[in-house]
Amino acid sequence: AQTVTQSQPEMSVQEAETVTLSCTYDTSESDYYLFWYKQPPSRQMILVIRQEAYKQQNATENRFSVNFQKAAKSFSLKISDSQLGDAAMYFCAYRRTGGGADGLTFGKGTHLIIQP
């Protein structure tokens, strides 16, 4: 079974600075998808960024980028120029390919605090 581990229950960063959230996973599959989801307080979870395992290039979405290390099974999220609106729970998630309707396997989440 796949597992996803987020070792940082909480992170704090000053506004406008950069922060990196860590995620490791375990799988025997060679092809899969990895995601970072953001869950603001009392609001729904939204997708921040995704990475296909077969792609060597790290995904980037504006201020959000990932460092995907397939051999190390590591998938960290870097947030540049942190903004107050980035404060939320961040979940790393895994989904295998080939199982089109498979659900996500989530980590426990990292609570990100933005200090003004």
Interface residues with another protein (CB under 8 A) are: 4, 9, 33, 37, 42-47, 50, 91, 95, 97, 100-101, 103-109
Give 16 or 46: the residue with its C-beta nearer to another protein: 46
DSSP letter (8 states) at residue 114: E
Closest contact distance (angstroms) between CB of 17 and another protein is 26
Could you give the CA distance from residue 81 to residue 110 in angstroms, rounded to a whole number? 18
Which residues neighbour 63 within 8 Å (Cβ) at sequence distance 6 or greater? 79, 80, 81, 83
Give 33 or 58: the residue with its C-beta nearer to another protein: 33
